[in-house]
Amino acid sequence: MKLYTIDTGFFKLDGGAMYGVVPKSIWNKLNPADENNMCNWALRCLLIEDGERLILVDNGLGDKQDERFFSHYFLNGEATLEKSLDRLGFHKKDITDVLLTHLHFDHCGGSIERQGGKLVPAFPRATYWSNEIHWKWAVRPNDREKASFLTENILPILDSGQLKFVNLNPGTPFSEHVTIRVVNGHTEAMMLPQINTGTRTLVFCADLIPSVGHLPLPYVMAYDMFPLTSMQEKQAFLEEAFLKDYILFFEHDPLTACCTLQQTAKGIRAANLFPLNEMS
């Protein structure tokens, strides 16, 4: 069992949207905005070497969208999916499983790439994993969320024949050391991989807790479909994570990959902040 951070760059989103009802006078201290009220966020993925399987959790924005798309989201930074894999001695062809927490474009955009004018899987030998509930939600999106579900990221996965659905029954393992938690506040049936390393438990927080700054319960994104559900799910998860000393892995925090938790007078907050390769 080995875990690796896969950095795929940064992108920008409106700070107010990312922090919901929290005033800018507060959140701007956590992630200062630019002159357009945009904050920079990581596109940090996770690679899990679990026995014979090489599992990639999410894959960032990708690079196949047009100039107009990127003018809204300002993809930036030197890191790319390919560079991060290469640095570790891996190639896209080595990936056996692509586990998509959900199908919003910043989590699955790297799933599909353009080759000779065609949209094809970027990971030719991998099985792509979603779940039946979320897939149905994504391919028939509601008006509020449909801008996050791009057909060019989703339907070619189905057409390729490489799509499978995770069994969401509680306790069903995804792999030898990985199980799946399901939450429904951000979007329907988002999956959070929970990894047992043998000595610690690490949870990939996806958009339940996108950054360290989102640990306080009211700090819920305006992008969440059901914010009260998000708060309830976050509270229950944080209580469990604190009691069981889980390590949290953040997909979007611009600085921090991982943290442990502590109980404070204001609630459960971060204790130690560290990169994944310093996990003990």
What is the block-wise mean pLDDT of the chain (280 residues), using blocks of 10 residues? Answer: 97 97 97 97 98 97 90 94 97 98 98 94 98 98 95 97 95 94 98 96 98 98 98 98 98 98 98 95
User: What domains can be seen in the chain, in order of their start residue?
Assistant: 2-278 (3.60.15.10)
- 8 Å CB contact between 210 and 41: yes
Q: Cβ contacts of residue 146 below 8 Å, gap of 6+? A: none
pLDDT value of residue 171: 79
pLDDT value of residue 116: 87
Q: What is the tens place of the pLDDT at every residue in 10-29?
A: 999 999 999 999 999 999 99
In sequence order, what E strands does 15-93 have? 38-50, 53-57
Q: Helix, strand or coil for residue 74?
A: coil
Whole-angstrom Cα distance, residue 204 to residue 5?
A: 11
Q: Helix, strand or coil for residue 27?
A: helix
pLDDT value of residue 158: 97
The first and second tokens of residue 215, run together, are 């640990």
DSSP state of 201: E
Whole-angstrom Cα distance, residue 174 to residue 129?
A: 10
Please give the C-alpha separations between residue 204 and each of 28, 68, 88, 240, 279, in angstroms, as whole numbers. Answer: 25, 31, 20, 14, 14
Please give the C-alpha separations between residue 16 and each of 11, 26, 38, 221, in angstroms, as whole numbers. Answer: 15, 11, 8, 8
In sequence order, what E strands does the chain have? 2-14, 38-50, 53-57, 97-99, 112-115, 118-121, 127-130, 163-165, 178-183, 190-196, 201-204, 247-249, 258-264, 267-274
Q: Helix, strand or coil for residue 247?
A: strand
Name the nearest CA neighbour of 191 among 128, 280, 148.
128
